[in-house]
Structure 1
Amino acid sequence: MRLSSRLQAIADLIPPNTIVADIGTDHGYIPIYLIKNKIAKKVIATDLSKNSLAKTIQLVKEENLENHIDIRLGNGLEVLKPFEVDTVVISGMGGLLIRDILDKDRNKRDSITHFILQPNVASRELREYLYINSFEIIDEKLVKEDDKFYEIIYAKKGKSIVEDYIHYEIGEKLILKKDPLLKDFVEEKISILNNVLEKLKDKNTEKSKNRYEEIVMEVNKLKEVLKGIEGNRYN
């Protein structure tokens, strides 16, 4: 099975020989890939949608993987037992929803070792949650698919310190490892924020003025990141 670039990047971060839960599995592509490529020993594929799970059931049967992929209908981590899996994948959702899924079942969350998380939006809020709740971000990847950037976070329980608030917005690991897509990613963020500034500049309310100043500071921090990326090219 050939995965999309986004799903492939997620699969590449999953540690080998683990028992994986794919929360919101949709068509079940990741579970099937993990078993066929002997990355996971077992996968639990879950989804809220009966229609999505019906597609997963069909694909799993076609691949004769019923003994390796357990398919469950349910919300978030509620369909899992504590210590049943050591790796969880939550992808293709908003960062706030991923945060809420992790926070709703803390006992189950804390029994899991590896977290592969791919927020479609609100990655800043998700990173804040991870740091506040004693997670360590081990690695991050950027993927561009259909003209959209995706951030993929690999986290484990642990303690880490955020030395610069910009690392909530731009993952520190992306900067340290000089992700190939980082320059384009930061430039796009700056462009989006500049458009917001253009809309705010003529507004005279106190709230608008405060927001304008906040965004100016954020743009300046992003420009510092960009300067560091471009400077590293010549080191």
Structure 2
Amino acid sequence: MKLTNRLLKIASLVNENKRLADIGTDHGYIPVYLLNEGKINFAILADINKGPLENARSEVKRNKLEDKVDLRLGSGIEVLKKGEVDEVIIAGMGGILIGELLEANKEVAHSVEKLILQPMQAQEELRRYLLNNGYEILNECLEKEDFRLYEIIEARYTGKNTTIDDEINYEVSQKLIENKDELLAEFIDNKIKKYNNIIEKLGDKNSEAVIFKRNLANEKIEKLKNLI
């Protein structure tokens, strides 16, 4: 079984010999891969929908891993109990939804050693939720797949809120800058293009609302340029 670049990067962030939960597991590719590689010995595969969970069950059976997994039907980390797993993957969902899933079972979210989160959108909102609700962002990385850049966040609960000096770092993580991620320049350039597109679409109109949006976009562009 060959994982895509995105899934392979997520799998690489799981620590060895940890009990893993993969939330929204779909076909169960990540935990099956890690079990076959001998990197982990146990995984809980969970999904809110029966179809994907049955796909995961078939993948588990095909790889003869039934004795090393537990498949659970349910919403997010509500299927987990405190102490059952060490690390949790929540990937392929929106950032706001991921925050809601963590909020729905704080006992588990606060007790695990690490959360590996890969939001498909609303990444800024997820960072804001994490840092304002007692989580520490341990690390971040980017992965490219099919011309799209994916943001992957490693976090854990410490109980201490983190203050961000500049709002732009909710959009471009300080960790990516510190790590000098090899995809960072492309990532920032994409964001600059996005804001330039916004300015272009606003045209020459000069209503109060348009002026505000244009000024905000220009301010974001300048801050993004200063990050490079």
TM-score range, shorter chain: over 0.9
> Aligned partners of 1:57 and 1:194: how far apart in 2?
46
Mapping 1:224-235, distance limit 5 Å: 224-226=226-228
Name the residue aligned to 1:218. 220
Task: Calculate the TM-score normalised by the size of structure 2.
Answer: 0.95
**Structure 1 residue 86, shift from structure 2 partner:** 1.5
* Count of residues paired in the alignment: 226
Corresponding residue number in structure 1 for 2:22: 22
Q: Which amino acid aligns with 1:153?
A: I
1:191 pairs with one of 193, 212, 216: 193
Alignment of 1:53-92 (within 5 A): 53-92=53-92
Deviation by residue 1:72-104 (Cα, 9 ceiling, x = unmatched): 111111111122111110001111111111112
For structure 1, the residue ranges without an aligned partner over 5 or more in a row are: 227-235
Range moving further from structure 2, 101-110 or 84-93: 101-110
2:134 equivalent in structure 1: 134
Q: Deviations over 1:175-207 (max 9, x none)?
A: 111111111111011001100011124233322
- The runs of 5 or more residues in structure 2 that have no matched partner are none
The match for 1:119 is 119
Matched, 1:177 2:179: yes
Residue 40 of structure 1 aligns to a residue in which SS? coil
Residue identity in the other structure for 1:81? K
Equivalent residue, structure 1, for 2:46: 46
CA contact (8 A) 1:201 1:212 kept: no
CA contact (8 A) 1:24 1:90 kept: yes
Deviations 1:92-137 (A, max 9, x none): 1111111111112112211222000000111100000110011111
How far apart are residue 52 of structure 1 and its match?
A: 0.8
| 2:8 equivalent in structure 1 | 8
The answer to whether the Cα contact below 8 Å between 1:91 and 1:118 also exists between their aligned partners in 2 is yes
Partner in structure 2 of residue 105 of structure 1: 105
Q: Provide the C-alpha distance between the structure 1 equivalents of 2:113 and 2:209, rounded to a whole number of angstroms.
A: 42
Aligned AA (2:94): G
| Separation of aligned partners in 2, 1:38 and 1:171 | 32
Give the alignment of 1:138-149 within 5 angstroms: 138-149=138-149
1:139, distance to aligned residue in structure 2 (A): 1.1
1:36 aligned onto 2:36:
yes
* Sequence identity percentage: 45
Aligned residue type for 2:135 = F
Measure the CA separation in 2 of the matches of 1:203 and 1:121: 29
Q: Which amino acid aligns with 1:199?
A: K
Instruction: Report matched runs for 1:151-162 at 5 Å.
Output: 151-158=151-158, 159=160, 160-162=162-164
Q: Secondary structure at the match of 1:168?
A: helix
Alpha-carbon separation, structure 2, partners of 1:188 and 1:205: 27
